[in-house]
Amino acid sequence: GAGVSQSPSNKVTEKGKDVELRCDPISGHTALYWYRQSLGQGLEFLIYFQGNSAPDKSGLPSDRFSAERTGGSVSTLTIQRTQQEDSAVYLCASSLGGALDQPQHFGDGTRLSIL
């Protein structure tokens, strides 16, 4: 399909392990966002990439969280030394540009469970 693709769809791991979540944005979309959705906190912004600009990391909850976007396309969100409170659905979105009027298209998310 032509939508935002995320993998894996589900991930179960033990506390303390590192995890990598992948996002393939819609082809041609220069802006890419990561959000986290949990029962207690709702849907929260994590990080934003736009072209070659420095990413907006203002939503990352701790230094255990990092993200990369290689070649202006695929992005990977990495969580090191996972904790139980990291359990959530991690959603990726992309848009044609970073302007406020560009609609964001979301993937179906990765459901992360920390045992």
Binding site for another protein (CB under 8 A): 4, 31, 33, 35, 42-45, 48, 50, 53, 56, 58-59, 91, 93, 95, 98-109
Q: Which is nearer to another protein, 79 or 93 (CB)?
A: 93
Q: Which is nearer to another protein, 64 or 111 (CB)?
A: 111
In whole angstroms, the minimum distance from the beta carbon of 61 to another protein comes to 15
In whole angstroms, the minimum distance from the beta carbon of 16 to another protein comes to 28
Three-class secondary structure assignment of the chain? CCCCEEECCEEEECCCCCEEEEEECCCCCCEEEEEEEECCCEEEEEEEEECCCCCECCCCCCCCEEEEEHHHCCEEEEECCCCHHHCEEEEEEEECCCCCCCCCEECCCEEEEEC
In whole angstroms, the minimum distance from the beta carbon of 81 to another protein comes to 26
